[in-house]
Amino acid sequence: MYSLTSKQIRFVIKPIFFLGCALPFFWLLLAIFNLLGQRLGPEPITEIQDHLGIWGLRFLLVTLSLTPLSKLTGQFWWLKLRRMSGLFSLFYISCHFLNYISLDQGFAWKYIWEDILERPFISIGMIALLLMIPLGITSTKSWMRRLGKKWYSLHRLVYLIAMLSCWHLWWQVKLDTLEPLVYVVILTTLFGVRWYYRSR
């Protein structure tokens, strides 16, 4: 079967994928500064917050879909995008958290602490972010080598993180659970594909 060369992956696929991943962030910058006709609505802070969180979750799902994609298509270069996609997810989620403590809460630690401890949906989101950090740190080749088999066990946490993230979104919507439901269905499908290939 035709396969991409490592040069094509490095100089074509990866840069395109990088730009794609960065697009939601560029859009956000345009909207914040009302450039190119893009704008945020009357409550910009909540919009920034939701935008960053949703894209963090989406890239988490993209990361999880790359292995099933490579199995389904028989093309292994998809796997080379997992690290970038995962790091972008971590980037969006970190911005989501930073926006929450800065613009949203105005560094009012008393309220932030109360939120994290007392509001289950925020506690869950916080746990998901904390779990993502070691995965981000150990995402390099040298860490892979250093951890050996343990690296794979550690990075299986991504499944838990994805479930917690969907749960976090589900719990924070007021009533209309259609969008979180879509993500849960996608996540379940991805699990299903993996299970299918594993059990074959």
Partner 1 sequence: MLIKQKSDISGSEITPERVYMNRRRLLKSAGFFGAGALLGHSANAEEIPGNYARLNNVSKSIFSTNESPNSFSDITSYNNFYEFGTDKSDPAQNSASFKPKPWSVTIDGEAEITGEFSLEDILKPHTLEERIYRMRCVEAWSMIIPWVGISLGDLLKRFKPTSKAKYVSFETVLRPNEMPGQRRRILDWPYREGLRIDEAMHPLTILAVGLYGVDLPNQNGAPLRLVVPWKYGFKGIKSIVRISFTEQEPYTTWNAAAPYEYGFYANVNPQVDHPRWSQARERQIGGGIFEPKIPTKMFNGYEDQVANLYSDMDLRRFF
Based on CB atoms, which residue is closest to partner 1, 112 or 157?
112
181 in contact with partner 1 (CB under 8 A): no
- Using the minimum distance from each CB to partner 1, give the nearer residue, 105 or 138: 105
| Using rule CB under 8 A, residue 167 touches partner 1 | no
Quick one: which segment of 52-60, 73-81, 112-120, 156-164 binds partner 1 (CB under 8 A)? 112-120
Tell me the C-alpha distance between 131 and 134, whole Å: 6
Interaction residues for partner 1, span 4-33 (CB under 8 A): 31-33
Only segment of 53-61, 104-112, 134-142, 147-155 that touches partner 1 (CB under 8 A): 104-112
Q: Are 56 and 162 in contact (CB under 8 A)?
A: no
Is the CB of residue 167 less than 8 Å from the CB of residue 124?
yes
Q: In the complex, what is the shortest distance from the CB of residue 41 to partner 1, in angstroms, rounded to a whole number?
A: 6
Closest among 57, 59, 39, 60 to 48, alpha carbons compared = 39
Taking CB under 8 A as the criterion, the residue among 145, 174, 198, 200 binding partner 1 is: 174
Nearer to partner 1, 174 or 198 (CB): 174
Residue 113 interacts with partner 1 (CB under 8 A): yes or no: no
Interface ranges with partner 1 (CB under 8 A):
31-35, 39-46, 48, 103, 105-106, 108, 111, 114-115, 119-121, 171-172, 174-176
